[in-house]
């Protein structure tokens, strides 16, 4: 192992007129560079958006309330994501698209299957607007360098879908609450014109929702091309027993060391954003999106002492079937791309350097607690009555 440290002095006016800013690098020959804090997330989102740099930032970690969106150039294109074949979203979708094209003169991108809805095809008045759209097909067209920002209409699933479309840098995402739960969708559609205008003007707070970079290596294709699948996951990776009646039996490695064997229905590896999804239903704690961490939560473990744990964002996790496993396992990524895991296959999970910049209604802290209260009814309880002085005598 080879350690290499660099040190530099830099003048700051904040402490006695002089302070020391230092940095170091850690190198290991022939090994993955390791850091407890995970990779520094990119701060350029799509072609034109970036995070406003705070000159008073210390150690590259910003106060969540100070994370602001800014534009290098005026945004010209927007991707509108709508929940497919939801009749309740047709009118908001049409209103928004007319506003974006006619009032804001933006290039609107829409997925082709959205426009194949008969309710849209049969609307002749709206047809003049759809002719101006740019369309694409999921898994066929690369739109990563064409989109300046994203607007989601629906529930939390629309934000997860938006994340899946971008395997590297993700444009800023503005999510309107038009679905059922809405934990990740802070905006109400009633005042969409002023809110969208505010975003285009570059006046908004953002929260960087970390993603997981997941690599699936199949043993049966180890010597062939295309043996490695890579996914960017916003919520969670779920490994479960699938249709089998046997317990799931998988080994969990952390930075190359076996830390435990999961015997139960499965295991959830989630981001802080995903901690309020499947993980919380399985008994995990809820983690604010700004916390750099990875959560490991067993699903119905056959052990009274197997509790969910939180590990640093910089570790590398690997999941494999145990040698003694009686059956295969199944894995899914944000509920999609479900596939079977056999003996010899491996799932490697690290924190991605490409987060999802989610635009806030107010700021990352207030929005999160508002979602806890409104969507999950966190700590809702009838208040205890006050004890008067007369009652204390008895």
Residues with active-site annotation: 156
Q: What is the 3-state secondary structure of the chain?
A: CCCCCCCCCCCCCCCCCCCCCCCCCCCCCCCCCCCCCCCCCCCEECCCEEECCCCCCECCECCHHHCEEEECCCCCEEEEEECCCCHHHHHHHHHHHHHHHHHCCCEEEEEHHHHCCHHHHCCHHHHHHHCCCEEECCCCCCCCCCCCEEEEEECHHHHHHHHHCCCCCCCCEEEEECCCCCCCCCECHHHHHHHHHHHHCCCEEEEEECCEEEEEECHHHCCCCCCEEEEEECCEEEEECCCCCCCEEEEEEECCEEEEEEEEEEEEEECCHHHHCHHHHCCCCCCCCCCCEEEEEEEEECCCCCCCEEEECCCCEEEEECCCCCCCEEEEECCEEEEEECCCCEEEEEECCCCEEEECCCCHHHHHHHHHHHHCCCCCCCCCCCCCHHHHCC
């Amino acid at each position: 192992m080879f350690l290499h440290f660099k040190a530099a002095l830099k003048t700051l006016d904040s402490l006695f007129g002089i302070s020391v800013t230092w940095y170091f690098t850690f190198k290991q020959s022939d090994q993955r560079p390791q850091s407890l804090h995970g990779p520094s997330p990119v701060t350029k989102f799509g072609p034109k958006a970036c995070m406003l740099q705070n000159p008073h930032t210390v150690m590259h970690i910003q106060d969540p309330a100070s994370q602001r969106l800014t534009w290098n150039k005026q945004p010209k294109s927007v991707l509108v994501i709508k929940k497919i074949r939801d009749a309740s979203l047709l009118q908001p979708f049409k209103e928004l698209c007319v506003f974006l094209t006619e009032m804001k003169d933006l290039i609107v991108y829409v997925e082709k299957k959205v426009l194949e809805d008969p309710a849209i095809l049969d609307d002749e008045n709206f047809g003049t607007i759809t002719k101006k759209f740019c369309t694409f097909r999921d898994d066929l067209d690369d739109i990563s360098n064409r989109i300046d920002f994203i607007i989601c209409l629906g529930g939390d699933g629309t934000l997860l879908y938006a994340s899946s479309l971008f395997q590297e840098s993700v444009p800023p995402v503005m999510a309107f609450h038009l679905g059922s739960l809405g934990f990740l969708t802070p905006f109400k559609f009633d005042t969409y014109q002023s809110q969208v205008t505010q975003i285009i003007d570059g006046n908004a707070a953002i929260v960087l929702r970390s993603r997981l970079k997941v690599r699936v290596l199949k043993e049966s294709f180890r010597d062939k091309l295309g043996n490695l699948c890579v996914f960017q996951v916003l919520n969670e990776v779920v490994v479960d027993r699938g249709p089998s009646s046997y317990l799931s039996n998988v080994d969990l490695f952390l930075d190359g060391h076996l830390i435990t064997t999961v015997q139960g229905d499965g295991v959830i590896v989630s981001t802080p954003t995903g901690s309020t999804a499947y993980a919380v239903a399985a008994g995990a704690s809820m983690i604010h999106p700004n916390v750099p961490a990875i959560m490991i939560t067993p699903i119905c473990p056959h052990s009274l002492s197997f509790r969910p744990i939180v590990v640093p964002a910089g570790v590398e996790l690997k999941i494999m079937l145990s040698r003694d496993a009686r059956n295969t396992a199944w894995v899914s990524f944000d509920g999609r791309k479900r596939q079977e895991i056999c003996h010899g296959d491996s799932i490697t999970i690290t924190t991605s350097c490409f987060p999802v910049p989610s635009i806030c209604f107010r700021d990352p802290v207030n929005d999160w607690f508002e979602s806890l209260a409104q969507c999950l009814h966190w700590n809702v309880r009838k208040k205890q009555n006050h004890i008067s002085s007369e009652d204390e005598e008895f």
